[in-house]
Structure 1
């Protein structure tokens, strides 16, 4: 493994452990050895509350390509960086041999609570479509909550325009996913979705709410509050699922292609507050505000 010369962190093969005030809250799998059909990429799992309750899932039986918390996209230049089946206009989901992968290049920083590295998003032949700089930080917020910060800068690495599309851009209504994505626990009870736009999946999916919160129970009661940390990210719509599975994403694009010119880049900045207990709408909003002010 490479080392950046910064503070040593607890490690295990292919993963870095992240802590808040001495408590392990997340594992970042920075080099995954997964089948090509999953669109292999770095991901955070397990992610835990301060009390130790796990709030992510990875490779669940029904969606084996969903990996904890990751950055993924279903269509970049005609390649699938989401994993699973590819949505084909006029046909629907289909298994294609079009999956890309995200490959770690080098560490810029890693400590017990922060990391930053560069990656290449490559096609099946190893050609780079995107170059990425990604940073992740874990910070205490209260006695019952901590904040995960994810920042990414994606730059076109090709010599031509590069389209980023969601299935919604190809005719699958409501499926505007692609970008930051959280897969929640498979075994969750009493699930609630809250936001200023309303409660429940139908009210929130496709909106640009100031924050989105999902709460549930399993090993213990938990709530995760998602919020944009800058104006650019705040303009992106939320992708939310709570019926067939638990998932929340901040979408890079919804029903229109996003085009990156050669050398062009986009940046996004997402906060996820991981809290013990089932929070009210007011409490969730206060945590989102506190996390934004913290940054």
Structure 2
């Protein structure tokens, strides 16, 4: 990363709470894309992981999609029906085009989603903002709008659409610190990962050692997506664009999603997480 490509910084109450790598220098196999890392609580606890040894393609907070018309925008291996994960030369990239806004509390830019051969499949308008959410919490708003510029239908798939049960990941994705032994999960659908994974809920909370993340579907379309949650081997949370069936985006059409994540110090009980959702959802 050159000096001119230095991460953009988000601040709340004078504290740096997130750094945004908008033009990272990454290997092709990781599906290069902008990401947020580190993301911190107001007290300074880091609540993201970047390129962990077991999953190098997990990049803090990003928009990562397992397959767009055969292109891998998740990174790593691609799931093949009847075979399983395989290394293919199909990793795409998300390329910064221009800044629309760049301040300490709001970031906005446009991107192009390119295949490994350089074909533009999607353009994106992305907006990030950081706002106070109480004395010991702040809210990260992450919105993105994708437009199909390929001239053909674009199927967006997860591995679950190819038969890998439960693997409905792809979309907004947060790689959290791997503290599974201490992790507590809650949502409007119940307590524990089994009550959340693959379900629709207006909010989802994950509590680790000294921190809580409350994920909120901030628009009706986002709330209609299912949550992907993995607590085995690593801690990852995502709002899934497609589950068992592909999401097909026709030429020229758009899709938009917005997730608000309240980043809090300490333990946030379910009733408080629900109150955050009522406050931040539109």
Please give the range of the TM-score, normalised by the shorter of the 2 chains.
Answer: over 0.9
Distance 1:172 1:266 in 2: 25
Q: Deviations over 1:120-158 (max 9, x none)?
A: 000112110110000000000100111000111001111
Structure 1 length-normalised TM = 0.92
Q: 1:94 maps to which residue?
A: 86
Q: 1:194 maps to which residue?
A: 186
1:148 and 2:140 are equivalent in the alignment = yes
Q: Deviations over 1:3-37 (max 9, x none)?
A: xxxxxxxx974311110111100000001111111
Distance 1:260 1:287 in 2: 32
Q: Deviations over 1:227-261 (max 9, x none)?
A: 11111111000000112110110011111011111
Aligned residues of 1:273 and 1:291 also touching (Cα < 8 A): no
Residue 227 of structure 1: which of 216, 230, 236 is its match?
Answer: 216
Q: 1:45 maps to which residue?
A: 37
Q: Deviations over 1:181-233 (max 9, x none)?
A: 0000135651111111112222110000110000001xxx0000001111111
Q: How does 1:19-58 map to 2 (within 5 A)?
A: 19-58=11-50
1:290 CA drift (Å): 2.5
Q: 1:69 maps to which residue?
A: 61
Distance 2:61 2:227 in 1: 15
Query: Paired residues, what number?
Result: 281
1:59 and 2:51 are equivalent in the alignment = yes
Structure 2 length-normalised TM = 0.97
Q: How does 1:176-191 map to 2 (within 5 A)?
A: 176-187=168-179, 190-191=182-183
1:289 CA drift (Å): 2.1
Q: 1:7 maps to which residue?
A: none
Aligned residues of 1:273 and 1:288 also touching (Cα < 8 A): no
> Mind listing any 5+ residue stretches in structure 1 that lack a counterpart?
2-10
Distance 1:156 1:14 in 2: 29
Aligned residues of 2:179 and 2:235 also touching (Cα < 8 A): no
User: How large is the RMSD of aligned CA atoms in angstroms?
Assistant: 1.4
Q: 1:203 maps to which residue?
A: 195
